[in-house]
Structure 1
Amino acid sequence: MTLLIVEDEDIIRKGLIVTLRKLEMDFEHIYEAGDGEEGLRLCREHAPDIIMTDIKMPLMDGLTFIRESQKLLPEGQFIILSGYSDFEYARTALQYGVKDYLLKPSTKSEIKEVLTRVIGQLKEQQSLRLELTERIHTYEKKLNRFQELLLGNILSGRYPAGEIGHFLSHYSIAFPEEYMAVVCIKITPVVSSDGSSIDYKNHFLWIVSLFEPYAAVYQADILSVYKCLLFNFSRLDSGYSQKIWQNIEEEIRVYGQKHGLRICLSISRVESSRESLPAMYQQACMLLHHRLFHQEAVAFYPKRQRNTEARTPVIPLTMIETLYHYFIGNSQFDLRQNFYSFIHHILSVENSSPGYVCDCLDRLKDTFALQAAKDGLEPESAYRIELSVSEAMTACDSPDALMDALYARLMDYWKRKRDGAAPASHMASSPVDQAIAYMEQNYYLDLDLSMISDLISMNSSYFSSLFKKKTGLNLINYLQNVRIEKSKQLLLNTNQKLYEISEAVGIPNVKYFCKLFKDYTGLTPSEFRKKEHSS
């Protein structure tokens, strides 16, 4: 809190300063001026919180000074120093919004009473202003979050094409239609995690910042470990555009090496129709799946795929038919050996691509169902295989991991077929895996059950039941576990303050964060940090 005294009589001005110091009023600085012009200069330089000013002064009288200084300090609190003969001036000053006045001479108790009152009013104003600022900040965050979810729903094709414009305009979200592109991004550690936290949020925001000089960038939230952006940009000369992407690609490569990350991104074709957005998103996803085939590559573009897929490989039908016979048999070893051979073949065949792999596995699914029907087997049994290949490609980061994931899904069906268990579509459990992967990378967002179940397009009660059955915890408790584990890593590996860590893991109320941390660990965050550092 700072104070400015504007008084032309030195003895009064100095006396006030002495009195204030004796009263131990809590002012960080007390400035003084002998006239209104000097007072204005000090207002410009120091922006004092409270100004005490005389009425009659040379060069610039008090009323003119108040009027001019209010232009500089609209939130300033003014107190008039007035003699009895100046009452009419004081009354005029009150019309300018002056908060209080002191008659000269004043006693210590009068000075303290007036200043205490004005300081209280100022603090109340500041508190209200801070509350309003926080409310606006919260509203903006929720608005941004809503925009991310809305764009995510648009890209994932949840709205009819003709209604996309309606949804955007209804919720006052406007962006130019021309020259749009969808970008998908995946960030993964180069080596297995050693327990240290990966700061997905800030790594992702750094990537966003690379594109902001060239485009309006919108984040879209889709339940996927692929992060998604929508670009609006002015069409650039193709040579210049290519140079920009090459520079960005190199920056990402260097950044990833520095932080021990593999960062891959794909850019869809450029379109000028909002109705094309779902297809653009699907293309960007399929392009990013190519990272499994090109382990050193960083970026994937549509034009890079045209020449490499000139001849589509033949689907190995004989291998699929052989696999069916091993599937209806009872040898898990033979099934595993032949399935891995099949997957390895379709991954490594010349001109193989994510689209080709998906086509092969779709044919496997159809062949199993058709052959089972020919063999007189129950069509609604476990012979209707659903391997969710594109989802597996999204989650995995190497061909070996993809083979393992697909085999694990096939084995789920094989065991149910062997044991005569009721059919259980893979999709019944897949959303739980998706939600877990999503929370691991997006724990810092404002998440809840209804939001995640909406992203999956499932009834929240049914999804909650599935989630608890698989994990043993309800979704909120699982999310809290993730956040506490992330906060432990930040406590051990950074010097961040508690409120910074609380905000970073998605719990903006630091008091609630400390209580939650103690409930989960038995220690406060400070005790945990001290104990771990001393051991």
Structure 2
Amino acid sequence: MKKIMLVDDEILIRESIRECVNWEKEGFIYCGDASDGELALPLIEQQLPDILITDIKMPFMDGLELSAVVRQRLPQIKIIILSGHDDFQYAQSALRLGVEDYCLKPVSSADLVQLLHAASHRIDEEQRLKRTYAYTPEKLFADLCGGLIGTAAAIEAADQLDLQLTTPYYAVAILSLAPSDPRKLHLSQAAYQAAGQLLADQLKELPNSFVYKRSRTESVLILKGSQPELISAKLETLAAILQRKMKTAVGCELSLSLGSVQERLQSVHVSYLEAEEDKMWKKLSKQNKAKLWEVSFDPSSDLVLLDRNRLIDFLKLGSSKEAPGFIRQFAAELNGMNWDSMYAYYLINDITLELVRTAKQSFQTGGNRAELMKELQQQIRSISNFEESIDYLNTLLERLWRWRAEGSDKYGELIDKVKQQIREHYDDDQLSLYEISKKIGVSSSHLSKIFSQETGQTMTEYLTTTRIGKAKELLKTTRSKTFEIAFQVGYNDQHYFSNLFKKVTGLTPTEYRKQGLVENKAGLVGEGEDRL
């Protein structure tokens, strides 16, 4: 049975289509509807309908914009355009986007069912042709991590393998095995087998996850879920359990390298690349610590104990004004150290690796760690005394705080521009996500995602709140009729405006105006009583 979703800003049209077709009898599932393209997008990504029916002219994100986004993200979905506008240009645009059919309103239930069956037959034929080759789970997961398969193809392959792949959030971890004894380069064959079996047994007990072996010593874990904080917590708990069991049971050390939690299936590749980078930095840090331990036995070395956690906390919360005093106090133990010894180099290098890695993870910056480390290691080699080490650490903090500033200010200006556009043009019934994104100079899909992430509401919700707020003001302060107020706040359909107003406020515009008049009279009476 194919899943059907409807997008139309006219509530009567949605109700009519929803009620006039016996969906189950016709072999379909009606999986939901929405009043505009932006509200529809998360529903489409969640429900993954087989066929999307959408109106063309809708507020904010119209049907053509929605179709373009859906064709890009989920090209397997068949799109049927409905429109009351007999305009050849609309038809041309729709056909260029690759929609399945284009028809004019009003459309009868019989005609609509015929269109749906035709689209359904084409879906069946495409699936039959694609079944000529099959994915294995390992190849599917490897291709997802490698960015070698698109969303639509991945979902289809997962369906064929009976795997539930789609979810709101994903994260990738790379699990690497190594001997606990740093003097041993490799584990024995028996130890690898025992460690591999223990790892497999533990991962079987982890729900909502997929795993594949990348090599004899490495496995890749894809974890999915509906709450990002729970995914991170599960990975941290898993790491602690596995590391303890591996060391106790088989004398093996397990390293868990993590990528960030991502929202889209296509971004599994991003999380995987971050896990790879995390693995590389852990390896560098481990090598540096091993060297630090080795050179600490040099009689010329002056062992220094520094509170790393205190420095990391200062990186996250400190300021430029406090830095000179803090660094001088923190690094006081470095005074008098032999700066000609390799111990000094590896100590400062180790602190640097820890700070850069923490900054990258905490500030979610796009800064290039590898390039920065090359530059910093050159500076570390030139340190020859205590004062130069103090200058270096101060400079390092300033560099990393620039990352922090970039992260916190990244989208503030962008969001302010969007809100300003909406406040200035809320009365324009043609105001759309596409128009705003064009004026601001970013893609509509990116803008929609960022606005939702940063404000906790969609742009449509913010526009609606702005328009209804202005309508409430006009209902209280003017004698304008409801249809006039609807037009003044950007709605050319009085019925749609009234329904939306009641949905938001719990009252019709007329009821809201009467309530305001009663409150005003009560206020005047109260003032008169006070005067008496």
Q: TM-score, normalised by structure 1?
A: 0.28
Q: Comparing both chains, which one has the higher relative contact order based on Cα–Cα distances under 8 Å and sequence gaps of 6 or more?
A: 2
Q: TM-score, normalised by structure 2?
A: 0.28
